[in-house]
Amino acid sequence: MFAVTILGNNSAIPTLDRHPTAQIITCDDQLLLVDCGEGTQLQIAKYRIKRNKLRYIFISHLHGDHYFGLIGLLNTLSLMGRTEPLSIYAPPELEAIIQLQLDCSGTLLQYELSFVPLQAGYSGVILEDKELTVSCFPTQHRISCFGFSISMQKKKRKLIPEQAKAYEIPAAYYGKLQEGADYIRKDGSIVKNDWVTLPPAKGKRYVYCADTQYDTGLLPWLKDADLVYHETTYLHDLETRAAERYHSTTVQAASLAAAAGAKKLLIGHFSSKYTDLQPFLEETRPVFASTDIAEEGVTYYV
């Protein structure tokens, strides 16, 4: 199970039916939260997201529409009895902001909260957990801002049961075969692992591009991704305004997805000046056909 559930798809100013940026990433039995705009915890409740499975939070940058919902969520998790540790990956200033809010309210969280600082301009792996790998990369925004590349790769090899039985390998050893071990028979002969197993299935990758100007420098991170989320704050007639405000347009996002050979594109972070989002698809799909609007409450499989 590798999927993205949209909790918020709007930009800085919320509307009555669109919320600031927040996404839940389901990676088998654990959840990741990417950005946490105002109202995120209400959206989590509305869409029946299992809070107890939340393991990691990633904050792309410190503009309010991407983290103003965080302190409320953290407090609620504590009030609901959470004891499992929680890690937040974010620009380093966020730790002091959250700590100040906790201190001023005399709040003591009932679980361990740890911060992993993302230093401006850094790119590379920031998390490896089970079959999950998360990398960050800088985007071109007005302040330090990051995108995230999230990969799921099954590390165990696929067993060929009939082959294992033909070589008289006991079932108790199947787990080691899946981990890549050869098998030594009683007569000392070796059964090579690739005689009885197949390589793991190809992994899948979701790339989240946070607020950014049009930037072809992102292409190496988007290349061949199974699913890409890219902001489209404006329709393309406002290309100049987008550049001035360090944002992107429909055509720009679609062009990057096409150039990168991505399989599918989600667009979001819509300016509140727009009430009808259909024109966003009308501009993106001629450039990159496999485009969808990141609709709140909808889950997209990677």
Structure tokens at 58: 């990633």
Residue with tokens 């000046």: 273
User: Are 242 and 272 within 8 A, CB to CB?
Assistant: no
Active-site residue, 129 included: no
Structure tokens at 180: 């890549």
14 in helix, strand or coil? Answer: coil
User: Are 35 and 21 within 8 A, CB to CB?
Assistant: yes
| Angle at CA of residue 89, ends 87 and 95, nearest 5° | 85
Given 35, 65, 211, 226, the catalytic residue: 65
Amino acid in position 25: I
Give 235's DSSP letter.
-
Q: For 128, phi and psi rounded to 5 degrees?
A: -135, 120
Alpha carbon distance 56, 44 (integer Å): 15
- List beta partners, residue 249: 234
User: Are 63 and 238 within 8 A, CB to CB?
Assistant: no
The CA distances from residue 286 to 279, 281, 289, in Å, are 12, 9, 6
Burial code (b: 16+ CB inside 10 Å, e: under 16) for 158-182 equals ebeeeebeeeebeeeebeebbeeee
Active site residues: 65
